Every structure is written in C-alpha cells, then in structure tokens.
Structure 1
Amino acid sequence: MFFTIIGAGVIVYGIFYTVVTSLLDSDLYLGFLDKFGKSPRKLKGKVVFITGASSGIGEHTAYALAKHGVKLVLAARRQNELQRVKAQCLALSGGQLEDKDVLVLPMDVLDVSSHQMHFDRAVRHFGTLDILVNNAGRSQRAAWEQIDLDVDKQLFDLNVFSVVNLTRIALHYFNTKGEGHVAVVSSLAGVIGAPYSGSYTGAKHAIHGYFNSLRLEKSSNNIHVTLLCPGPVFTNFLQEAFTEKSGQKLHGSTQPTDKRMTAERCGHLNAVALTNKVSEAWIGKFPVVPVTYVSVYFPILTKLTLKLIGTDRLFKLRDSKDPVEIIKGIKKLILQV
C-alpha cells in the first residue's frame, strides 16, 4: 500500500509538472522566480563578464542586465560588434551606466594562453568581478557516423576546454575574494540527446559533468554555479554551426515561422536565473521543456514515444526543419569543396 501511494504521488506530480510547464517558457522553478523571485535589479552595480557577447544569447543577456544597471565586460572576437552592443547597453541602462561601466574586450576564447591576461584586464578595470558567464560557442548539424574526428576535437576545444580554462582562472580569483558566481550557457541538448548534433550534444553533456562536479566541490563555499539550458532560440547560430567536415560552416538560417524563443526573452530569463543563483535552468517555448522533463524522469515512456513519432519528427520539433533537407544541404556543401 505504501509503495502504491508513492507511485501514485509520482504520477500525479509528473502530470502536474508537465501541465504547468506547458503554460510556461521555462521550468517550473524558473517560471516561479520570474514572477515572484528576485529581480535582476538586485544585481545593480555588480560586474558581469560575458563571453560571446557580440551576438545572440550573449548579446541579449547583456541587454537584460544593462537595463538594471549591471556593469559589463563584453568579450568576443568582433570588436565592431562589441562596440554596437556596448552602445545599446548604455542606451538601455537609462543613464544608470556610464561609458566606463561597459568594457569592450576583444578576445578569442580559443586562445587559452590569453585568458589570464584578458581576465586580469577586466579585474583591473573594475577593481572586482562578480559573475562570469561563459556563453561563447557554436552548434552543429551532421549525421553522427559521418563526423570527422577533427570536428569533435574542434567543437570540444571551443565549447568545453575554453570554458573550463577560463572558469578555472575565475575560480582562483573567486577563491581569494571569498565569493563568486560562474555560469555556462549550455543547452537542453546537455540534458537529453539531440539528433544530428552528436559532437555538440557530447560537448554539452561534458559541460554538465564538469560543472555539476564543480558545484558539489563548492557547495560549502560562497561560490555558485549555474547551468543555463535554452532550447531553440532565434539567433544566427545555424549560420556558424559546425557540420561533419572540418572547416565547414552550415550557413543555415532561422525563419520567422520557426517555433523558437526570442533572444530577448532568453536573455531576460538568463538574468533572472543569475540573480537567483539557480543551479540549472531549462528555457524554451512549448513543448521543449515538457518533452525534456518527460525524457529525464520517464525514460521508458520516452522510448515508446520515440518509436511512434520517430527521430525525424524530434529533429523537426527542435529546429522546425526537415532533417532530410538539412543533411542534403550538408552533403551539397561537401561536394562543393
């Protein structure tokens, strides 16, 4: 009888969670914090270092923080784009930020030997640093068995090892300071597998392994770890995405009809998660968060569902595109090389 009650409770909870998250664009906890938790204005005056800040999710996370007077280090390779983002941050701040409160830091995260120099420059400029947001990275679209091993290595260098290296530098500083906060823009692909993105999915799972381990190590310290896990978002990520061949870019694009979250909304939810020191945040328009929840907590049900809908439909749910056309496009690129 006892186990029957427990089982019934799990089922009721699962149904409740799935229904509620169907009405939100995030997991239940983050949705609650967005309405009733600490506002990003609580971070006013803090200093946040964001990599990959020249476009996409990094850019819009910077905007969401700038609106509340958060001082920023904007790091990326393209200085002109960083200057554009800086100008917009200052405008959105409504006078809360001055020119010196937003530092443009031209930086290639793949050059790990330069990480310490860039980090030190940011600390010297502001005299302190409170949060590091590792956002720089690239996605991928490719058939698993066709991927060159060099692509796996390049993707891990960018999406994993550059992140780990910069974070370790930040941790040495935070350990001395006695407090700090590190975050990574991961993906829902780091929570569950994603088809036609084997290297990318593997890299995001590696990020979760690294940072979940770090969180446990720092659980008794005043150092916080946040994994930000967005689903499909309107950015230029498909333009720069890896394929199966080294040196290739997908040169894909999103369409207005795609079922994606706006980068602005994603940036806001990232800011909420950072303010409230959330351990892991799932972000995305229906139905990606409920699907992720069911996949994690009801794997047998997920397996049966996949047999019914097929992998191609799952891909279309993720990218609002036909996977066959994506793979054809990749093969066409290869033939042109």
Structure 2
Amino acid sequence: MVISPPQKLTMLFEIIGAGVFSYGLFYLLAMCFVDCDVELWFYSIFGRSPRKLKGKVVCITGASSGIGEHTAKALAKRGVKLALTARRKNELERVKRECIELSKGQLVDDDVLVLAFDITDLSLHKKVLEQIINHFGSLDILVNNAGRSQRALFEHIQMNVDKQMFDLNVFAVVNLSRFAVKYFSERGSGHVAVVSSLAGVFGVPYSATYTATKHAIHGYFGALRTEKTGKNIAVTLLCPGPVYTNFLQESFTEKDGEKYGIPANKTDRRMTGERCGELCAVALANRTHESWMGIFPMMPFVYTAVYFPIVSKMCLKLLGPQRLFKIRDSKEITLDEVAIA
C-alpha cells in the first residue's frame, strides 16, 4: 500500500497530537499524586542526592526558623557545612546545636557558623560574606531565605508596607547576592538560590505586595541566570506553597508595624517544614532552575494557571478569590477579616 504525502503529513500530525495528549495526561495525573513539580520529583528519586554536597559550605539567611531552619537541618544530615544568619542569636544557636546533633558526627562546632544581623542593613552584607569566607576558606552556595509574607486587601495597603516588604524580600536579597556573585565569578563557580514562592509564579489574592516582591525576585534572578549561562554559576528559585511554619502569623498586613497574628494550625492542609527542607536540599544538589512545591491541590492549580491561562480564568471565576484564599490558608475567612486581622 502506497501512502501519499498528504496522508504521511496527516499521520505525522496524529502522532504529534497523541504525544502531546499523552504528555499532558501524564502531567495531570502526576500532579495529583506528587507534592512538587515533576522535575524535582524525578530528581528526588533518581537525581543527585544532597549527600553529594557533603563538605560544601552553604550560607542560609533567615535560618532561625521555618524553611531556612529545615533546609539547614536537611543539609546538616548530609555533612554540609553551614553559615546560619538571622536576627535572633539564641534561635540560631538552637538550630546550630540541632544541626550538629543531626549530622551524627559529620559536623563539629566550627562547621556551623552563627552570624546574627539584620539583613535589611545593607551596609553589613559584604562584611558578613567576608566573615563566612574567612572562617571556612570558601563559600559554595548562598540560600536567600529571609523574608515575610502578607495578608491584606490591595486597596488598603499603606505605601510604607510596600517599601518595607521590598526592602526585606527584594533589595536585601539582591544586594547580598551581588556580593556573592562577584565572589563566585572571581572563583569561577558558585550557586545562588532564593526561596521565592508559588506567589512568584501567579498572582495570589490578598497578598498583593508579597506577590509583587516574589515576581520581582523572579525577574532579577531570571536575568542573572541568563547572564551566567555557561559560566558555572547556578541560579535556583525555590517556590513553595503553603508550609507549616510560623510564616503565616508573622506576615505583614496592610498597616505599618502590624503583624497578621493568625497562626497556622496542625490540621491545615500544608506541607510540613521538614518535607519542604528536604525538597529544597534536593533542588540545591541538582542545581534546578526553578522548583515548585506544594501538596494537592496546589500543584495542578499552579500548572493550570501557568500553562492553561484560559482554563485558569474560568476556574477562578467559578472558585472566586475567597475560595482560593481558603485553599491557600485552610481557613474560612471573610474579606473584612482579611482587612482587619
């Protein structure tokens, strides 16, 4: 049987269409069962183990609690040397003790350096990195984790809150990273990571300034990654969804100097801090570009929002922003409560 050119072309399109459909179906099913993007899930099973980072020096900002603390512990278990920074020295010392204990003899006191300082004081950044390099003799990875979230209505947010959030979540991160990148460029290798958020991937409701800071981070570090292509300097954006930490109650609101104050409950549908720290360690070991993390239904929702915007728009109309807020925070809350909490 002779197949004509038009028939061959039709068959080719059918094969391509079947492939695209199969690929989409695989992703749809995978997103319902995994707690991260497919690339990170693959690396967590078949990729480089965080053990490959043993002996490396990693600086983590905001390491006194939350994702920073759990990432430090996940790395300490693999014998990674750590520089831990945050404002609360007592909490940093606690994390240090626990990291050394978790290392089971791989780390000693000098392998975990504690540096307490306010990251929004940009004048200290160069000195802090120099202290780390002088102490360990090198720095291999900078993990920018320090930051705060927000719960507020867009129209009520005071401009001072916008400025403070950008100072903390963006300008402090960019400034510290620039000193690190200069060092990595002179040395010929290095790795910069930033704990962003799924809010940096799509616009989430009732966190306008926070979302804007994370989108800014993606812009800055996406540009950096492009500039350093082929120069052995990796750039990783870590994008967790809701995680069970004290992050929520410490969030900014719309008012200057005010904290949200509503804690996450253990019954909330959130990823554990331990699991998030482990996934961050896997992403660092495999030098991923961008890694998404979140329990169902966050992953399928984010994939739909990014890759199928028309479907996402229809779903958002059906769900409404308040329903999306509940999916995010596992709480029934009215718009008035968001405004005054």
When normalised by structure 1's length, the TM-score is 0.96
Cα displacement (A) at 1:16? 1.5
Instruction: Name the structure 1 match of 2:337.
Output: 328
Task: Pick the aligned partner of 2:124 from 105, 111, 114.
Answer: 114
Instruction: Name the structure 1 match of 2:64.
Output: 54
Task: Pick the aligned partner of 2:232 from 222, 231, 237.
Answer: 222
Instruction: Name the structure 2 match of 1:30.
Output: 40
2:248 match: secondary structure: helix
- Do structure 1's residue 210 and structure 2's residue 220 form an aligned pair? yes
Larger of the two Rg values belongs to structure: 2
Deviations 1:220-251 (A, max 9, x none): 20100000000000000122100001111111
Pair 33,258 (structure 1): closer, same or farther in 2 beyond 3 Å: same
Instruction: Name the structure 2 match of 1:124.
Output: 134
Separation (CA, whole Å) in 1 of partners of 2:181 and 2:256: 33
Task: Pick the aligned partner of 1:234 from 217, 229, 244.
Answer: 244
Separation (CA, whole Å) in 1 of partners of 2:175 and 2:295: 32
Where structure 1 has 5 or more consecutive residues not aligned to the other structure, the ranges are none
Instruction: Name the structure 1 match of 2:183.
Output: 173
Instruction: Name the structure 1 match of 2:167.
Output: 157
Cα displacement (A) at 1:3? 5.8
2:106 match: secondary structure: coil
Contact 2:152 2:338 in 1 (8 A): no
Instruction: Name the structure 2 match of 1:77.
Output: 87
1:224 match: secondary structure: strand
Cα displacement (A) at 1:11? 3.7
1:128 match: secondary structure: coil
Contact 2:153 2:338 in 1 (8 A): no
Contact 2:67 2:145 in 1 (8 A): yes
Amino acid at match of 1:230: P
Cα displacement (A) at 1:34? 0.5
Separation (CA, whole Å) in 2 of partners of 1:67 and 1:110: 30
Amino acid at match of 1:88: E
Separation (CA, whole Å) in 2 of partners of 1:8 and 1:153: 50
Instruction: Name the structure 2 match of 1:278.
Output: 288
Contact 2:270 2:295 in 1 (8 A): yes
Cα displacement (A) at 1:309? 1.4
Cα displacement (A) at 1:322? 2.0
Contact 1:51 1:136 in 2 (8 A): yes
RMSD: 1.3
Contact 2:151 2:338 in 1 (8 A): no
Task: Pick the aligned partner of 2:102 from 77, 81, 92.
Answer: 92
Amino acid at match of 1:130: D
Instruction: Name the structure 2 match of 1:20.
Output: 30
Amino acid at match of 1:74: L
Instruction: Name the structure 2 match of 1:252.
Output: 262
Separation (CA, whole Å) in 1 of partners of 2:82 and 2:145: 14
Q: How many residues align?
A: 331
Where structure 2 has 5 or more consecutive residues not aligned to the other structure, the ranges are 1-9
2:249 match: secondary structure: helix
Separation (CA, whole Å) in 1 of partners of 2:55 and 2:13: 51
Contact 1:234 1:260 in 2 (8 A): yes
Cα displacement (A) at 1:288? 0.4
Deviations 1:252-293 (A, max 9, x none): 101111000000000000000000001000011111011101
Cα displacement (A) at 1:107? 1.5
Cα displacement (A) at 1:112? 0.5
Cα displacement (A) at 1:5? 5.5
Amino acid at match of 2:292: W
Separation (CA, whole Å) in 1 of partners of 2:244 and 2:160: 28
Separation (CA, whole Å) in 1 of partners of 2:149 and 2:198: 12
Separation (CA, whole Å) in 1 of partners of 2:125 and 2:147: 16
